[in-house]
Amino acid sequence: MKAETNIYSEPRWAGLSEVLRLAMPAILASISWTLMQFVDTAFVGQLGKAPLAAVGSAGLWSFVMNTFVVGVVGCVATFVGQSMGRSRQEDCGRYAWQGIYLSLAAGVLAVALWPLAAPIFNLMPHSPEVQTQEIAYFRVRLLGYVFVAWQTALASFFQAINKPVIPMLTAFAANIVNVVLDYGLIFGKLGLPRMEIAGAALATVIALAFQVVLLHAVFMGRSMDRTYGTRSGFAPDWAKMSELFHIGWPAGLSFLLDVVNWGVFTSFIVGSFGDGALAAHTAAISIMHMSFVPAMGLNQAIAPIVGQWIGRENIPIAKARAYTAMRLAMVYMFFMGLLFAVYGPVLIRTFFNDDPAVVSMGHVFLMMGAVFQGFDAINIVLMGALRGAGDTRWLAVVGAVVAYVVFLPCALILAFVLGFEAQGAWLGATVYVILFSGLVFRRFHGERWRHIKIFRADAASLNTAPAK
């Protein structure tokens, strides 16, 4: 086994430099993706309160239904990162291809969900006008399911081979396409039909498809093939696909449960208190994405960084890099929380809605968000670090337990039993985020993940090694 490097012998800013080098492009790409959703919401908000409420709920559920596949293929970063750490570059392209093949399952899922769209949204306690628009938006977004998963697999590959600028630039290009098509398809400009909320969904689907084309063109380039075997390694490899799915399915399940819980929270709990509460919630969440998204960029960056250092058998540096990323996220999210608490009404009124009741309620939500911002930074970054180590099953099990024992019960009790309505639901969410951050930090700090073997060959050799 390689000797573990003493982290204190490194140059002082080595860790910060490495994290920022990979994280900044990922952060900018994540901001670009969020800007895409932000533009959709801002444009649709000009159509009225009902479309604004509908795009928030339907946008969330269109994302929810595809998260299992996205979570699985996102673990391409884990395998490519650890392969890079072991100097096995030829395996990097092969694992990316297995992620692409698994992403095709999203198309099957989309076909299955199409006839279920109306029953799903008819169950929600929303007005008939909102439900009709939710169904229209959701069905169009189904057309982009394969593109979302394919983009995730390729972006994870580029992130893990230390080329995060490539997905960043393609995300920028896709964003430009989305803004132009949003303007044309929502309002009937530029010679395009007026589709209103469905136009926002179609613009997003086309932009995602455009990004996948760009990413795959670079992936298949001659230099990529020469170093990572991206052309020669295209054949299905059932052993590698099995490895990816073995680590990926708990990550996908964890991701799915997390967004399902927030979907239930949004549509069935907050949505029970009327279109105004749902609109305020949509506006607050959209504004808070300005804080969440850079942290998600750090999440995407830290998974391959941790994976690479584990591949080099250097646990102390893997751990130090994760803590560096966590501190960056905590500082940023703390100051963004102050901004939301002080300027919340201005932000909601400027970008989304000038209804006084919506603005007032949205500001209350933003102030609660300001309280849990720093704790959520711990969750977001260290969950990425655990994923990079392959510790996905713990995240799935503990995340489910805490969600169904703390998050949703607290939200229901505070909202309905104690009568605090939507504000009470948000208070329950605040308690959940703070508690979960403590559990995630304890798991990562305890280093149980250092013994996980993601490659079957390693596990087999460990099991057959003679006892000493």
Question: Which sign does the torsion angle of CA 307, 313, 319, 321 carry?
Answer: negative
Q: How confident is the model at residue 2 (pLDDT cuts 50, 70, 90)?
A: very low
In the prediction, which pLDDT does 199 show? 92
User: Left (φ > 0), alpha (ψ -120 to 50) or beta: where does 237 sit?
Assistant: beta
Q: What letters, b where the CB count within 10 A reaches 16 and e where it falls short, cover 293-315?
A: bbbbbbbbbbbbbbbbbbbbebb
Q: Would you say residue 8 has pLDDT above 60?
A: no
Helices H / strands E in the chain, number of each: 20, 0
DSSP type of residue 419:
-
Helix (H, G, I), strand (E, B) or coil at 24: helix
Tokens (6 digits) for 174:
């896709």
Q: Would you say residue 24 has pLDDT above 60?
A: yes
Closest CA to 285 of 422, 381, 134: 422
Spatial distance between the Cα atoms of 133 and 428, rounded to a whole number of angstroms? 29
Closest CA to 235 of 97, 343, 47: 97
Q: Tens of pLDDT along 298-357?
A: 998 999 999 999 999 999 999 999 999 999 999 999 999 899 888 888 888 876 667 788
Q: What letters, b where the CB count within 10 A reaches 16 and e where it falls short, cover 434-451?
A: bbbbebbbebbeeeebee
Spatial contact of 158 and 164, defined as CB atoms under 8 Å apart = yes
Residues 6+ apart with CB under 8 A from 236: 97, 98, 101
Q: Would you say residue 237 has pLDDT above 80?
A: yes
Q: Would you say residue 208 has pLDDT above 90?
A: yes
Question: CB atoms < 10 A from the CB of 6, how many?
Answer: 9
Q: Would you say residue 459 has pLDDT above 70?
A: no
* More confident call, 181 vs 43: 181
* More confident call, 282 vs 228: 228
Spatial contact of 59 and 241, defined as CB atoms under 8 Å apart = no
Spatial distance between the Cα atoms of 183 and 203, rounded to a whole number of angstroms? 9
In the prediction, which pLDDT does 468 show? 44
Question: CB atoms < 10 A from the CB of 68, how many?
Answer: 23
Burial class of 343 by CB neighbour count within 10 A (0 to 12, 13 to 18, 19+): middle
Amino acid at residue number 440: V
Tokens (6 digits) for 94:
């092969």
* More confident call, 58 vs 406: 406
Closest CA to 440 of 448, 428, 429: 448
Question: CB atoms < 10 A from the CB of 466, how many?
Answer: 4
Maximum C-alpha span of the chain:
76
Spatial distance between the Cα atoms of 406 and 395, rounded to a whole number of angstroms? 16
User: How many CA atoms lie less than 13 Å away from 373 in the CB half-sphere?
Assistant: 30
Amino acid at residue number 396: A
Total residues found in the chain within this entry:
468
Residues 257-266 have a mean pLDDT of 85
Q: Would you say residue 3 has pLDDT above 50?
A: no
Spatial contact of 387 and 75, defined as CB atoms under 8 Å apart = yes
Tokens (6 digits) for 393:
């099953």
Q: Tens of pLDDT along 126-145?
A: 888 888 889 999 999 999 99
* More confident call, 127 vs 428: 428
Spatial contact of 272 and 318, defined as CB atoms under 8 Å apart = no
- What does pTM read for this prediction? 0.84
Helical pair 128-142 and 197-219, crossing angle rounded to 10 deg? 20
Closest CA to 70 of 121, 33, 124, 42: 33
Spatial distance between the Cα atoms of 454 and 118, rounded to a whole number of angstroms? 41
State the average pLDDT for the chain. 89
Q: Tens of pLDDT along 85-120?
A: 999 999 999 999 999 999 999 999 999 999 998 998
